[in-house]
Chains A and B, each alone.
Chain A
Amino acid sequence: MSDPVLVVRDLVTSFPSARGRAAAVDGVSFELAEGEVLALVGESGCGKSVTALSLLRLVPKPGRIESGSIRIAGREVLSLPVSELRRVRGKEAAMIFQEPMTSLSPVVTVGAQVVEALRLHEAIGAAQARRRTTQLFDQVGIPDAESRFDSYPHQLSGGLKQRVMIAMALALRPRLLIADEPTTALDVTIQAQILELMRDLQRELGTAILLITHDLGVVNELADRIAVMYAGRLVEEGTREQVLGDARHPYTRGLLRAVPSLGRRGERLAEIAGVVPTPQERPIGCRFSTRCPVALPRCPTDPPGDTPVAPGHVVRCHVVAQELAR
């Protein structure tokens, strides 16, 4: 198997807070192989979007990447000079944002925006770029691609705009696509269409996708592997079947129980008691210990290490480690 497209090691990204800097992402490591879809799952504020922004060094000020290593297609992103970094952005790794409504400049036609992306990295003429763009529009299922080229964003629906965003992201056939909640802002029928489109394109082009989401339905549709994030750290990682079918970490189990399902009608929806601790309130040990129903006495003080439960399935939890040891 070829080298992984993306390798993240011990990434720490922090933001200033009233009491010193708070690490939104605190020692996250993962890998993404060629053509693989990894879903980064977690609730709001757990640091998944900051992880995504860190990958291309797009963390908004005053946020800062403190330490760690990010390698995209073999190149260390964190030490690249800005001019080199620009060549990685878009060409090697592209990004789709959460809000298609605001991710396109309102005063430039959508076609021109895709053309801009193309011509930024490839020396092609205006006419050829236009041809490529209409082809891309066709490919992502924009009806009447030729005439949509000259439309302004306000003339398109949310679904169409997200298709334009996907076309723009795929214009340069990047090896890595970072999709930050690509369907959150869309309604359910459009969501399904966009997911299907992403899956088709991923198979066709072999792009690796890092999918950031809190929607387990989306994860089930698209992901090969799943990494679950809680309060800035990864708590469980494994294949889709392992994590969705055989979740070990109490947090993952809680998440899965909280998904509404048609089979359990009339029951009260399960929830995870308590709230996510603020960065200042985080325990030194396992961060989920403040809400964990099965926490051991040593959980709040002793950070759990990686416990492999199956090939490729890793959990960070003392309880799981203890059970396995028995």
Chain B
Amino acid sequence: MEAHVVSNLVVALLLAGAAALAIGVRRNDLWRASAVELARRRPIALGVVGVYLAVALLDSVSWVGGGDAGAGGNALDLHRPRSLIDRAFPLDLDEKSYSAPLASVEFYGGAPLDHPGRHLLGTDILGRDVLHLTLEGTRVALLVGGFTSLIVIPLALLVGVSAGYFGRRIDDVAFFVMSTLASIPNLLLLIALIMAMGRGAVQVCVAMGVTSWVGFCRIVRGETLKLRELDYVQAARALGVSEPRLIWRHILPNLMHLVVITFVLLFSGLVLFEAILSYLGIGIDGSWGQMIDQARDELARDPIIWWNLAAASSALFALILAVNFVGDAVRDVLDPRTLRERQ
């Protein structure tokens, strides 16, 4: 299947999942109250995260055809899939090289632009619209944070809970693997993995996942060790609950607060880490990291080209700040201790 079709299907699945989640939350009093409380506490951060999500989703729905290449456009563009975000910009929006935000002439040379005053955030060295690039970077950032977390969290839960719950041999093996991974310098392992698997977005996410699950796994193992001996787990055992069910019903739900916190920390950490990878030249194409990497040279120019760097950095900064705010609030809202303070 072609990449853009897969992407469209994933969007459909995500929307369906979100709808199911929303219905589930509405049905349960506690969850509904928590959601309302969350919206009351952090309306702006939630809104910002929502905008990022919307942009990323819109940028993930794409199809071939439609539109008009225009006078200066590339006719080939008509044959590649373009997303809803792409379609918000005319196909022939590119200039020849740098131009400042809302300028009407080129930055070097002063030749008149094809679209004077249309580039809200200016254009980059190849004349591409920076606003458009920044919006496209959103999808990459959320992919890096979201997809990698989707690898890390289940993996860490699986290994950590088995090691903590069953102990003995399984624990020994899990600990051996974790210690081995942890003793290899992260960056080295990451570069090796990316070299071995190739440089696609998915490969980079997998490589980052492999290098970052150990910390969370240790926490999960420790927490499971504690939970295993707690009275309610003992009580469930005394009622004849089977081991798999015990883990599913009594251990995993009681680890969820850790999952929420870890997801937030992991998400922002990964998005930032991708920027470092881009700096090393092994990042994901079209990421903010790449834009920042490119801006290294631009900062050395005189007069400096600042808009490229500013756009990517602000987008990164705002996303991570908002995610952290929301994550913090989620933890507070779900924690029964702060629940009592509230009343």
Contact = CB atoms under 8 A, between A and B. Distances in A.
A85 B239 CA distance: 10
Nearest to B250: A105
Contact of A116 (B229, B230, B249, B336): B249
Given A97-B231, A116-B249, A106 B336 contact: yes
Contact of B240 (A90, A98, A103): A90
Contact of B253 (A56, A99, A108): A108
Interface in B214-233: 229-232
Contacts of B241: 86, 116, 120
A199 interface: no
Interface string A130-153: 000000000000000000001010
B253 A58 contact: no
Contacts of A44: none
A89 B237 contact: yes
B253 A95 contact: no
B183 interface: no
B239 A89 contact: yes
B253 A150 contact: no
Given A89-B240, A90-B240, A105-B254, A95 B235 contact: yes
B249 A120 contact: no
A61 B168 CA distance: 11
Given A97-B231, A102-B232, A107 B253 contact: yes
Interface string A58-95: 10110000000000000000000000011111110011
Nearest to A89: B240
Nearest to B167: A61
A61 B250 CA distance: 19
Residue with the greatest number of chain B CB neighbours at <10 A, chosen from A91, A108, A152 = A108
B231 A108 contact: no
Interface residues of A, number: 32
A97 B235 contact: yes
A76 to B, nearest CB: 17
A58 B237 contact: yes
A119 to B, nearest CB: 11
A186 to B, nearest CB: 15
A121 interface: yes
Contact of B256 (A87, A91, A97, A107): A107
Given A60-B229, A105-B253, A106-B254, A152 B239 contact: no
B302 interface: no
A120 B239 contact: yes
A39 interface: no
Interface string A225-238: 00000000000000
Give the interface SS of chain A, mostly helix, strand, loop or mixed: loop
Given A107-B253, A154-B336, A102 B230 contact: yes
A86 B242 contact: yes
A308 to B, nearest CB: 35
Contacts of A117: 239
A89 B30 CA distance: 32
A197 interface: no
B232 A104 contact: yes
Contacts of B238: 56, 58, 89-90, 94-95, 97
A165 interface: yes
Interface in A151-172: 152, 154, 165, 168
Interface in A20-49: none
A60 B240 CA distance: 16
Contacts of A116: 236, 239, 241, 249
Contacts of A86: 240-242
Interface string A274-308: 00000000000000000000000000000000000
Nearest to B233: A105
Contacts of B253: 105, 107-108
Contacts of A61: 167
B229 A103 contact: no
> Looking at A91, A103, A108, which has the most chain B CB atoms within 10 Å of its CB?
A103
B29 interface: yes
Given A86-B242, A91-B240, A150-B29, A103 B235 contact: yes
**Among B229, B231, B240: residue with most chain A CB under 10 A:** B240
Nearest to A60: B229
A86 B239 CA distance: 8
A158 B266 CA distance: 38
Contacts of A56: 238
Contact of A99 (B231, B237, B239): B231
B314 interface: no
B338 interface: no
Contacts of B256: 107
Given A60-B229, A90-B238, 4 more contacts: A58-B234, A90-B240, A105-B249, A150-B29
10 contacts: A94-B238, A102-B232, A103-B232, A103-B234, A105-B249, A105-B250, A108-B253, A150-B29, A152-B30, A165-B235
Interface of A: 56, 58, 60-61, 85-91, 94-95, 97-99, 102-108, 116-117, 120-121, 150, 152, 154, 165, 168
The 5 closest A-B pairs by CB, nearest first: A89-B240, A90-B239, A90-B240, A86-B240, A95-B238
